[in-house]
Amino acid sequence: MDPIDFSFWALFARSTLTVKLAMLLLIFASVWVWAVTIRKVIAYRAAKRAQDRFDRAFWSGEPLDVLFADLVDKADTAPERIFVAGMTEWHRSQRDTGGMIPGATARIDRSMDVAISREADTLNAGLSWLATIGSTAPFIGLFGTVWGIMHSFMQIAISQNTSLVVVAPGIAEALLATGIGLLAAIPAVVFYNKLIGDSARIVGGYEVFADEFATLLSREVDD
């Protein structure tokens, strides 16, 4: 008997159309997981560099009004947009006589909280795909395996031959779907947990800055 080819492409080619579709979907999901992860890693590194750069500028001793004037029309990073949101509300809360409208501190806090929420949504965009793939890919793979095994048993019944040579290729083709499902799900879960933690730390840095900035402005209001 000729040896049976158990390579990936041979197993894929011999599988049924339903199993092929399941495996193609899982392969696409796996590629999507890596694409989202690489894009987020690059974005998070850029966010951390922007945060460090803005912190140096903010604490450099330069007057805040001067920094605000430089950034108000060209705030390109998250810390800059949060700062501009707080300073904008600060200027809006000033009376023509030089005093402050009551409740200025609370409005400044809310303005920066809204800005932080928007930045958090941007940081977390796409992570839901990782969670979805991580939770559904094993079941899609299992569906392909069940379907493939069912087809193999049907072929055994038709051929009326229970020899391992007849059974093994069909079982191997079916199990390939589960393997691909795990190959997509495991990185998705690992990367999701890692990225959601990185995002939380970045947003936490934004919140710390907002609290420090609000404290500085509240001193001006009290004075």
**Domains of the chain by residue range:** 8-222
State residue 223's pLDDT score.
Answer: 56
CB proximity list for 75: less than 8 A, separation 6 or greater: 81, 83, 84
Instruction: Please name the residue that has the structure tokens 């420090």.
Output: 212
DSSP codes, 91-120: HHTB-TTS-B-TTHHHHHHHHHHHHHHHHH
Collapse the DSSP code of 100 into the 3-class scheme (helix H, G, I; strand E, B; otherwise coil) and give the result: strand
Sign of CA dihedral 82, 85, 86, 88: positive
pLDDT in tens, 155-166: 777 766 666 566
Q: What pLDDT is stored for residue 163 in this prediction?
A: 63
pLDDT value, residue 168: 66
The mean pLDDT of 106-131, rounded to a whole number, is: 92
- Structure tokens that stand for 211 in this block: 């609290």
The token duo for 4 is 């049976």
101 in Cβ contact with 93 (< 8 Å): yes
Nearest C-alpha neighbor of 217 from the set 51, 92, 52: 92
What local confidence, expressed as pLDDT, does residue 11 receive?
74
Q: What is the mean pLDDT of the chain?
A: 85
Structure tokens at 75: 């705030």
**61 φ, ψ to 5°?**
100, -5
Rounded CA separation 87/69 (Å): 10
Instruction: Dig out the tokens for 83 from the structure.
Output: 């700062």
**What 3-state class would DSSP assign to 15?**
coil
Structure confidence at residue 115 (pLDDT)? 93
Looking at residue 52, what is its pLDDT?
Answer: 93
- pLDDT at residue 187, as a whole number: 94
Greater pLDDT, 170 or 149 = 149
* Tokens (6 digits) for 170: 């069909």
Give the pLDDT confidence of 6-51 residue by residue, as tens digits. 566 777 777 778 888 988 999 999 999 999 999 999 999 999 999 9
pLDDT band at 100 (very low <50, low <70, confident <90, very high): low
What share of the chain has pLDDT > 70, as a percent?
86
In whole angstroms, what is the distance from residue 49 CA to residue 107 CA? 29
Q: Is the pLDDT of residue 80 over 80?
A: yes
